[in-house]
Amino acid sequence: MKEECGVFGIWSPQKKTIAEEIYLGLYALQHRGQESCGIAVSCDGVFQHYKHEGLVGEVFNREALDRIGEGNIAVGHVRYSTTGGNNHHNVQPLVVRHMKGNMALCHNGNLVNARSLREKHELNGAIFHGTADTETIVYTIVSERLKASTTEEAVFQTMQQLQGAYSCVLMTATKLIAFRDPFGFRPLCYGRMQDGSYVVSSESCALDTIGAALIRDIDPGEIVIFGKEGIIEDRRLCGNRPALCVFEYIYFARPDSVIEGASVHAARLRAGRFLAQESPVDADVVIGIPDSGIDAALGYAQESGIPYGVGFLKNKYIGRSFIAPDQMTRESAVKIKLNVIAETVRGKRVVLIDDSIVRGTTSERIVRLLRESGAKEVNMRISSPPFRYPCFFGTDVDSQDNLIACRLNTLEEIAADIGTDSLAYLSVNAVHRLTGRQQGMFCDGCFTGKYPIDITENQGKNKFEQPLPPCEPGVRCPNSSSFLCTPRELCP
């Protein structure tokens, strides 16, 4: 499973080398996306931007940061392509120049009505260059801005048309605007620096990196405008029951982040404790798979009384973009990234903690490594429920194809497939208690199949890159809801 994206923005009352602060913030959010990154800066209304495929440290050197120059407003983005392929047209920020000014948008999340919105704009003459949902948001804001008196009003009108997950930062010549979908699927917060600058970020850990103090999370449905008039809050679309993606606590977020007032590290410790209560096992050592399995392993050890051990060494020099050129190298990819500390597991009954099992291929290889290193037993415990359904709100699992919990029917079958002596998952009920908050505050659709929003359109990862299906004359076109099909040579 892959992360989605990270957004970062700064509004400053004075000019400064703002791109360097965005750069540091993006470094702190690198775990949320490793395919591409970008920064856009406004200096007296003049936009400069630089973006490219690659990690933050690879894309931005001294020359690139100097090229962007000083400014008082800036936005940045790190991306993993949950919708739309990894190509340059999809790299963010998306910078747009229209008759009422300039703007740059960064977006985290997925829309579930992007296809119909995109079609509406195309019928009005819009030409799309990329295949990501973000471009649809940009076109909608621009079309509303041409009718509205302010950009923030255009954002408000746009939000009433969007369905799905979006946590965004938008830069204009004079303002930084942050807005979050009414369900709050993806996190978004803001803080303040000592020089009076305001900072918006996907996670609070990035605020810490540049010395900004966390003020609060932006509420689901809220629009917050940062400008010379101070902070303006628009809460007209607030009021839905929040549905934050529970995987932010289980896997996506950095453990040093605080989301909705709850420590991610503490939530993962609690997940491990709940696992020990629900699924105890006689064992000699508890180990966690780096990185997000470690905190849960500590919690399991604390609750069970079984000693915690460091079972794996992670190769910190290999990036998420590691490419396995042939089958033999692909088989060795897990060992390249993770190596077992044999002394910890040799001759012992091991409790192995991980955050999730998606396809099962990586889990099988890790279990095999433990056995080759002399583990007597491997009992696997997962700090989330079985992943049975696709996610449509910003996680790279857009169908049930290859999900091991769908392919196999029982825990015993899954355990046999990955080679463990026993297997247990955290219950859905326990997941909703990870932060100590009231029940029903999370989206758990990937476990239960129950989503806060009805899904009616094709939500495939590459839904705008699929070849056109064949037309059947006289019936409604499968490629457009607005036309009846005609012979192929006349297809609109």
Sketch out the chain's domains with CATH numbers. Answer: 5-240 (3.60.20.10), 266-441 (3.40.50.2020), 462-492 (no CATH)
Q: Residue 485 has what pLDDT?
A: 47
Average pLDDT over every residue of 392-410? 83
Copy the structure tokens of residue 278.
């629900």
Q: Is 370 helix (H, G, I), strand (E, B) or coil?
A: helix
Q: Residue 329 has what pLDDT?
A: 58
Residue 85 pLDDT more than 70?
Answer: no
Contact assessment for residue 306 and residue 285, using Cβ atoms and an 8 Å cutoff: yes
Band of pLDDT at residue 89, cut at 50, 70 and 90: confident
Residue 218 pLDDT more than 60?
Answer: yes
Mean per-residue pLDDT over the chain, rounded: 88
- Which one of the listed residues 5, 106, 168, 205 is annotated catalytic? 5
Which of 8, 12, 28 minimizes the C-alpha distance to 202? Answer: 8
Q: Residue 153 has what pLDDT?
A: 98
Q: Residue 440 has what pLDDT?
A: 55
Band of pLDDT at residue 173, cut at 50, 70 and 90: very high
Helices (H) and strands (E) in the chain, counts: 17, 23
Average pLDDT over every residue of 361-371? 94
Residue 41 pLDDT more than 50?
Answer: yes
Among 1-10, 27-36, 57-66, 419-428, where is mean pLDDT lowest? 1-10
Copy the structure tokens of residue 183.
């369900």
- Distance, CA of 426 to CA of 443 (rounded, Å): 16
Q: Residue 84 has what pLDDT?
A: 52
* DSSP H/E element including 73: strand 71-79
- Distance, CA of 133 to CA of 161 (rounded, Å): 13
Average pLDDT over every residue of 479-488? 45
Q: 0.85 cut: is pTM over it?
A: yes
Band of pLDDT at residue 429, cut at 50, 70 and 90: very high
Average pLDDT over every residue of 107-131? 90
Q: List pLDDT tens digits, range 237-253.
A: 999 889 999 999 999 99
Residue 487 pLDDT more than 70?
Answer: no
DSSP H helical ranges for 71-132 = 114-123
Task: List all residues 6 or more positions away from 198 whose beta carbon is below 8 Å from its beta carbon.
Answer: 10, 11, 176, 190, 191, 192, 226, 231
Task: List all residues 6 or more positions away from 181 whose beta carbon is below 8 Å from its beta carbon.
Answer: 109, 159, 162, 164, 165, 166, 167, 220, 221
Residue 473 pLDDT more than 70?
Answer: no
Among 71-75, 337-341, 380-384, 473-477, where is mean pLDDT lowest? 473-477
DSSP H helical ranges for 8-132 = 18-28, 56-59, 62-68, 114-123
Among 271-280, 319-328, 436-445, 451-460, where is mean pLDDT lowest? 319-328
* Whether 446 is catalytic: no
Among 66-80, 276-290, 392-406, where is mean pLDDT lowest? 392-406
